[in-house]
A and B are shown apart, each in its own frame.
Chain A
Amino acid sequence: MLQNSQMKGRARTLAAHAILITYTIIALFPVIVIVINSFKTRNAIFRSPLSPPNSETFSLVGYETVWNQGDFVLYFQNSLIVTIMSLALVLLFGAMAAFALSEYRFRGNSLMGLYLALGIMIPIRLGTVSILQIMVASGLVNTLTALILVYTAQGLPLAVFILSEFMRGISDDLKNAGRIDGLSEYRIFGRLVLPLIRPALATVAVFTMIPIWNDLWFPLILAPAEETKTVTLGAQIFIGQFVTNWNAVLSSLSLAIVPVLILYLIFSKQLIRGITSGAVK
């Protein structure tokens, strides 16, 4: 009997792992193909796209092209500035709005919450034309500021929504204890509430960061100038109408993965805590 149930348990574990491994392979497959092909010669990429580079087919020509092709360092810098600045603003304003919505009773509180959450359902790209007009009128076209403003607006709805839900979960007693100890509302926000919702902040950070880093739409429309190009936009120069430099495209894409990967690793420990916090606590 006991053995039987043990066997069953093991079979179940195996099945779960099989499913998870399959999923992992499917999810990682395109990334791996990009990375291994970025280290191969052009012929080898087309002859056998799935085989890893060997001594014959190994080549860094793609990376060399990217490196020599003007301004990839600048593009990276632009992407990083835009992503990190937007992320910081989304987290700061999102958390502040969420605190006000969850902590204070005022007229129109729930209406305001609904209004702020509306942006989750309405894609910001629908407003591209008006956004472009605004940016032209305010002289922000071809600046990183334009991108940062748009991405902040894009990220805020989800941030406010998630963070205010988490903040409602923090005990009132704790905040009141802080008030009795003479902490100002800012310190209660900064010293008591923010540390307690760190996992939620990390979750929001990851979900905000990845679409910004990968976005091609707004850089192309609002900041296509050479000095404000982001990495995703920069990689487009290798995709021609008639000829595409696949070595360079794959290399630049591989490089573009690295910074997000690093940011993700920074947040991921917190993120996992955030996802499981409801289940474990």
Chain B
Amino acid sequence: MGSLKLNSIHKSFGSVDVLHDIDLQVPDGEFVVFVGPSGCGKSTLLRIIAGLETTSSGTIEIDGNIVNAQSPTERGIAMVFQTYALYPHLTVRDNMSLGLKQAKFPKAEIAERVNMATTMLSLEDYLDRRPAELSGGQRQRVAIGRAVVREPTLFLFDEPLSNLDAALRVNTRLEIARLHDELKSTMIYVTHDQTEAMTLADRIVVLNQGRVAQVGAPMELYNNPANMFVAGFIGSPKMNFINASDVGSSKAATIGVRPEHLSIDTKKGDWKGSVTHVEHLGADTNIYVNCESAGPLTVRLFGEHSYETGQMIFATPQANKVIEFGADEATLQ
């Protein structure tokens, strides 16, 4: 069991409002990712769920019980931190078992749970080492193991991959996905990286300046963003935004086209412009174009293409892939 419900959570530090009116419902077993730019309040929201921070107003329910007044331990959550936060003076084994020892679990059960977690995370060889003797990836696996042994109702992750290098990040991401498949527990995961959000989440909560910008499944956010912020945040390279009046569109203030939904032709098309830069990524080619009417655009083409800087080309959006935004930045239906 591990359902979570947030009712109009509000948080301010002194006179600074950090979170405004956050409502959210997470059913048991779901993998929810909070994503948003740095400083938008993701960690604060996660710490409020954990019980490490108080709310200014609003309630937190876990499994239907209001837990505002409960300590992190009473809430039955476990948390994995960006900086690993392993106890430097304890061995891997003791790091993992400290929480259970505090809760006065019998020795045999502690050993069994630690065993299970070490096997799951392939940490058998490191049990007697201290954190200083481990690599970053191993440390983060220990931190995950420390969360697993507690068999929590809720797993909370605060940017667990940010301190790892690119290759390890992918591996650990897969490991976390596998963990969710095996344990089927509710997981809440914070990141500023939209790739992590898209690949891991059942549902994504996009936060912007302390407000929920949109909640939805990854592809829903990609295909039907609720506003310009979500449209720009999800997807890489970023969506192109074009001033609607510049291209003679009707009711919208701004129109958005994803780089992968633009095609290029040397002879004819909607928007004429010159190539300013070309990036070859192997599988993709990113072409930066400065258009006469539409302004600077990014075009993502699949495969290898050879365009020269300064070359005149025409960019054309796919007809049904153009998204229109009103003057208030919300998507027009």
Contacts and interface: CB of A to CB of B under 8 A. Distances in A.
A192 B47 contact: no
Nearest to A184: B102
Contact of A173 (B82, B89, B103): B82
A182 B103 contact: yes
Contacts of B52: 176, 179-180
Contacts of A196: 88
A120 interface: no
Interface residues of B, number: 24
B87 interface: yes
Interface in A155-188: 171, 173-174, 176-183
Given A171-B83, A173-B82, A174-B85, A180 B50 contact: yes
Contacts of A183: 98, 102
Contacts of B146: 177, 181
A177 B80 CA distance: 8
Interface string A190-223: 0010011000000000000000000000000000
A163 to B, nearest CB: 18
Contact of A182 (B47, B89, B99): B99
Interface stretch (B69-77, B196-204, B295-303, B306-314): B69-77
Contacts of A180: 50, 52, 72-73, 77-79, 99
Contacts, number: 53
B222 interface: no
B88 A177 contact: no
B73 A181 contact: yes
Contact of B72 (A174, A179, A192): A179
A176 B71 contact: no
B81 A181 contact: no
Contacts of A178: 87
B47 to A, nearest CB: 7
Contacts of A174: 83, 85, 87
Interface in B49-99: 50, 52, 71-73, 77-79, 81-89, 98-99
Count class of interface residues, chain A: 10 to 19
Contacts of B78: 180
Contact of A177 (B47, B85, B103): B85
A44 B158 CA distance: 74
Nearest to A187: B102
Given A182-B102, A183-B102, A176 B73 contact: no
Nearest to B14: A105
B47 A176 contact: yes
Given A181-B73, A182-B73, A176 B85 contact: yes
B299 to A, nearest CB: 42
Contact of A179 (B71, B83, B87): B71
Contacts of A179: 52, 71-73
A171 B82 CA distance: 11
A230 to B, nearest CB: 37
Contacts of B83: 171, 173-174
Contact of B89 (A176, A177, A181, A195): A195
B180 to A, nearest CB: 19
Looking at A173, A174, A195, the one whose CB has the most chain B CB atoms below 10 A away is A173
Given A179-B52, A180-B99, A171 B88 contact: no
Contacts of B50: 176, 180
Contact of A181 (B82, B84, B98): B98
Looking at B73, B85, B102, the one whose CB has the most chain A CB atoms below 10 A away is B85
A181 B99 contact: yes
Interface in A138-162: none
Interface string A72-116: 000000000000000000000000000000000000000000000
A1 B115 CA distance: 60
Nearest to B103: A182
Given A182-B71, A183-B98, 13 more contacts: A171-B83, A171-B85, A173-B85, A176-B50, A177-B85, A178-B87, A179-B52, A179-B72, A180-B50, A180-B73, A180-B78, A180-B79, A181-B102
5 contacts: A171-B83, A179-B73, A180-B52, A180-B77, A196-B88
